[in-house]
């Protein structure tokens, strides 16, 4: 035993910098370690094609020096849209609009990946009378009021959704995205299948972890079959759902090992669901120790697999980012909200080891209103909309204005939702 004060062995990674390039196994080069995590933009047009503002927004991030941008979640199924302004990518999509978006997002040698998603039961009741899910179990924790109870998918529907993931991935590559990411986190459909709390199926798609993970494995296989080995395919996955009887850390490790053995190119680590949104509220103890939320989990993953890792949630300073990279806990630092406030963050953080961004604590002062308006999301969406109009973000913008906009949005949504419901009848 050498004891606590043993001299550390030389660290070959100690000279790692935020602008050190990274080469994936398939040869894709990512020019630096700053990874823009997905933020749902809600900037699609009425037919769910990318609106023109999306090109402005992603050109701005490319200009700011980010190494890789992941798009906000793109829906793979027109009948299951998480938010009104979501982009959908299927055989009815206008690929020319997607090409304008990817041309802007890939400027300045930036990788631009499409995040593909199916929301499962996480669709507000104004948008779907009866969403689908692995099992007919509603959301809890007060969400019962805004989210309808889903019905269980049939086996044929599961197979069709898997096919749609593959199709969207092929179209994404055709449209100019340089990679694809499966949204397997935050309580959406992939994550619902993984969770013993939400997946109570007794057929081959539920039960043991092997069976619960069949869905994500088949989604990955379908995508790989469509895009081949040259296109990087990644996943954003929960370290855990942080819910009683939810998807837990030990299970998440097994999923990570399985996908890694199948050849996935990248794993982004997050956590939480709508029922317990720690992806944005954070894990306080962990953040206090090391700035980012999921680094301890990443350390354990790193001991088991060599697949490139991204840890997302909580990074705010160059020092915190560099410490995470140099400890080899992660290969990339995943960043979302700070990039909605300062798109030049990558250039600044790379240049200045003392860089730090402080984010405002967002509250109206009324807990109920904060929750209804999903403040943590709506205020940032407001910043994205500004950049989409080629305006600078406004970090001082009024919180109550975002709340008002969200509530007006809900009103429009209620109107459109009633039309959707009428159309369904």
Ligand X SMILES: Cc1cc2nc3c(=O)[nH]c(=O)nc-3n(C[C@H](O)[C@H](O)[C@H](O)COP(=O)(O)O)c2cc1C
Instruction: Using CB under 6 A, list all residues that contact ligand X.
Output: 37-40, 72-73, 115, 183, 185-186, 236, 270, 279-280, 312-315, 335-338, 377, 380-381
| Residue 137 token pair | 């179990």
CB of 196: closest distance to ligand X in angstroms?
22
CB of 169: closest distance to ligand X in angstroms?
16
- Residue 152 or residue 269: which is nearer to ligand X going by CB? 269
- Residue 152 or residue 279: which is nearer to ligand X going by CB? 279
CB-CB contact of 370 with 364 (8 Å): yes
Closest CA to 71 of 221, 162, 163, 175: 175
- Residue 201 or residue 380: which is nearer to ligand X going by CB? 380
CB of 255: closest distance to ligand X in angstroms?
16
Cα-Cα-Cα-Cα dihedral sign, residues 302, 305, 306, 307:
negative
CB of 201: closest distance to ligand X in angstroms?
25
Closest CA to 129 of 114, 113, 147: 147
- Residue 40 or residue 148: which is nearer to ligand X going by CB? 40
CB of 204: closest distance to ligand X in angstroms?
27
- Residue 131 or residue 314: which is nearer to ligand X going by CB? 314
> Which distant-in-sequence residues (6+ apart) come within 8 Å of 267 by Cβ?
234, 235, 237, 256, 259, 260, 301, 305, 307, 308, 309, 310
Q: What is the DSSP string of 175-231?
A: TT-SEEEEEE-BTSHHHHHH-TTT----STTSSSHHHHTHHHHHHHHHHHHHH-SSS
CB of 159: closest distance to ligand X in angstroms?
25
d(CA 207, CA 121): 19
- Residue 75 or residue 153: which is nearer to ligand X going by CB? 75
Closest CA to 187 of 266, 257, 271: 271
């Amino acid at each position: 035993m050498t004891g606590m004060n043993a001299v550390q062995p030389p660290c070959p990674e100690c000279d790692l910098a935020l602008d050190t390039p990274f080469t994936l196994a398939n040869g894709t080069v990512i020019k630096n370690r700053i990874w823009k995590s997905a933020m749902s933009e809600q900037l699609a047009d009425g037919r769910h094609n990318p609106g023109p503002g999306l090109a402005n927004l992603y050109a701005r991030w490319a200009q700011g020096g980010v190494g890789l941008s992941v798009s906000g979640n793109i829906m793979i199924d027109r009948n299951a849209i998480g938010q009104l302004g979501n982009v959908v990518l299927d055989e009815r999509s206008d690929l020319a609009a997607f090409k304008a978006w990817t041309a802007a997002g890939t400027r300045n040698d930036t990788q631009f990946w499409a995040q593909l998603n199916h929301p499962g039961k996480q669709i507000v009741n104004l948008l779907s009378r009866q969403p689908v899910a692995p099992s007919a179990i509603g959301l809890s924790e007060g969400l019962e009021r805004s989210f309808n109870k889903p019905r269980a998918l049939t086996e044929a529907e599961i197979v069709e959704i898997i096919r749609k993931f593959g199709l969207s991935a092929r179209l994404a590559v055709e449209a100019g995205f340089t990679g694809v990411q499966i949204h397997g986190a935050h309580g959406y459909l992939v994550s619902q299948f993984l969770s013993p709390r939400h997946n109570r199926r007794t057929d081959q798609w539920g039960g043991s972890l092997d069976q619960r993970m069949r869905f994500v494995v088949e989604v990955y296989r379908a995508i790989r079959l469509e895009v081949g080995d040259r296109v990087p395919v990644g996943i954003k996955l929960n370290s855990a759902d942080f819910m009683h009887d939810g998807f837990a850390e030990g299970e998440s490790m097994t999923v990570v090992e399985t996908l890694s053995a199948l050849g996935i190119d990248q794993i982004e680590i997050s956590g939480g669901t709508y029922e317990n949104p720690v992806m944005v509220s954070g894990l306080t103890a962990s953040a206090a120790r090391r700035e980012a939320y999921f680094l301890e989990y990443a350390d354990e993953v790193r001991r088991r697999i060599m697949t490139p890792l991204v840890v997302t949630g909580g990074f705010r300073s160059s020092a915190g980012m560099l410490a995470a990279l140099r400890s080899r806990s992660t290969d990339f630092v995943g960043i979302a909200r700070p990039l909605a406030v300062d798109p030049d963050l990558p250039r600044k953080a790379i240049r200045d080891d003392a860089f730090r961004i402080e984010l405002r604590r967002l509250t109206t002062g009324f807990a109920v209103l904060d929750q209804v308006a999903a403040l943590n999301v709506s205020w940032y969406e407001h910043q994205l909309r500004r950049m989409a109009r080629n305006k600078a973000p406004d970090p001082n913008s009024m919180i109550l204005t975002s709340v008002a906009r969200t509530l007006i949005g809900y009103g429009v949504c209620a109107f459109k939702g009633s039309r959707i419901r009428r159309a369904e009848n």
